[in-house]
Amino acid sequence: MISIPSERPEVDSVEVILLLTLYSFILNRRHSAYVLASAAVRKCLVMGMQLNVPEHQYRDRRAREHRVRLWWTTYVLDRSCASKLGLPMSINDDDIFVDAPSNDGIDDNDEDFDDIDYQLRSIEISRVAAKCTREIYGRKKFHSPFSQRVQGVLKDFTRWMDTLPPKFHLKNDGSSSLQRHHIVYLHLRLNQGVILATRPILLHVLRIHQQSSTELDAGTAATDLSDSARTLAETCIQCARHSYRIITDAWIHGTFATFDYFNTQYLFSAATIMAVSSLLKSPQSKSDGDNFDNAVELMRQLAQSGSFAAKEFFEHIKAMKQSMAAVRHESVPQSALGTPSEMQQPSLSAFTGTGMTAGMALADPSFQGFLAETNLDMQILDNPLFHGLQTPYWPEIWGENWAASSNI
């Protein structure tokens, strides 16, 4: 079924491939998962699942709906794999003509079909995440400036959050980990999407901060940054803090799945952002540094428990800690993000405690001001030199025989 593709694929073959895709993630074989998810899309295309089937040709309503939902499940997994690896998706949205999932004609008590609202929200955020990967990390030439593309993606994420049904909102009483996992996962996906959209700006802020350490007037770090850049960098950090709180809360309450790839990857992503924040000498840098250390310890425990993903991420974290130690001795008298008064973000700094969520960060007046801005003041981000930060890293660890065949 897998090694020898069938000339006439059937629905069950797609279902098996999707299960193998998820299993590949558990084994930390994310590239294999990407290949499998793409193969599932190809099988669906051969069967015409991206198209609507007329009712007179397929009168079984439940079977038609199962076909529709299987297609969109494949779509979501393909988008998830591609966005995690920064690779192209298997099909463009313009080539999809099948209807969205629907409960019309389906018994409300039918346990074979999940919550329709959740399906629709999952599809939509997968679509926005794919747009983020394509427009912010894509290699093709764009007609619009980088800053406008970031703004467009963040508008989509904000719109998604604004239209999220109340039943999918996280509780504000600190018991979010006790909610159903799929609800928590939606918010982790939102946080990760915003982090990916704003991370290039945060890395630019870090570079400015590091460069200022060699200048006589380190205060130029704050003046060289626009208000929009500061806002986006802070939004990135706030979303990372929120993901960290959600994940550690799940760990404390025993609801964290040790071998779950996605939560482990979100933990690593949040830890990376908090590591950057700890180097910026902002009012919250020490707290973020402590949270980073806690995240490292959690990752170490996951690795010791047998999580394949955690074992790999922990090696990356050890390399990060070495790089961070190399710059710890550099003393910079002023933060690259500026003081709270320079940032002119009183509402944002008022929520720098442990209770701020991604929704609060997206609703912040300074962030909303950026979304409404028509003349963005981030020309530096459209400079060709900035795009050097986006260059793929080709590790020199494979040796001369890196392309040799392997059975691993």
Mean pLDDT of 237-265: 94
* pLDDT given for residue 347 in this prediction: 36
> d(Cα 241, Cα 233) in Å, to the nearest integer?
13
State whether 262 and 146 are in the same domain. Answer: yes
* pLDDT given for residue 301 in this prediction: 97
Asked whether 81 and 47 are in contact (CB, 8 A), the reply is no
Structural domain includes residue 120: no
* pLDDT given for residue 139 in this prediction: 82
Percent of the chain residues past pLDDT 90, beyond the cut: 55
**272-299 pLDDT, tens digit each:** 999 999 998 888 889 999 999 999 999 9
> d(Cα 179, Cα 149) in Å, to the nearest integer?
34
Question: What are phi and psi for residue 111, nearest 5 degrees?
Answer: -80, -5
Domain boundary among 113, 129, 150: 113
Structural domain includes residue 175: yes
State whether 220 and 306 are in the same domain. Answer: yes
Q: Which domain does 191 fall in, by range? A: 140-390
* pLDDT given for residue 158 in this prediction: 96
Asked whether 129 and 83 are in contact (CB, 8 A), the reply is yes
State whether 354 and 272 are in the same domain. Answer: yes
State whether 101 and 146 are in the same domain. Answer: no
* pLDDT given for residue 5 in this prediction: 73
CA 368 → CA 26, 70, 362, distances in Å?
A: 38, 37, 7
Longest Cα separation, the chain: 77
Structural domain tally of the chain?
Answer: 2
Q: What's the whole-model pTM score?
A: 0.86
Does residue 340 sit in helix, strand or coil?
Answer: helix
**376-403 pLDDT, tens digit each:** 766 666 654 455 555 555 555 455 555 5
Mean pLDDT of 147-154: 93
State whether 313 and 219 are in the same domain. Answer: yes
Percent of the chain residues past pLDDT 70, beyond the cut: 80
> d(Cα 1, Cα 126) in Å, to the nearest integer?
28
Question: What are phi and psi for residue 374, nearest 5 degrees?
Answer: -100, -20
Taking 90 as the threshold, does the pLDDT of residue 140 lie above it?
no
Structural domain includes residue 292: yes
State whether 250 and 350 are in the same domain. Answer: yes
Structural domain includes residue 152: yes
> Which residue is listed with tokens 């959600």?
246
**299-354 pLDDT, tens digit each:** 999 999 999 999 999 999 999 999 898 877 655 445 555 543 343 333 333 333 44
> d(Cα 393, Cα 391) in Å, to the nearest integer?
6
Structural domain includes residue 119: no
State whether 212 and 268 are in the same domain. Answer: yes
Domain boundary among 94, 113, 132: 113
State whether 174 and 108 are in the same domain. Answer: no
**55-104 pLDDT, tens digit each:** 888 888 889 999 999 999 999 999 999 999 999 999 999 999 999 999 88
State whether 243 and 328 are in the same domain. Answer: yes
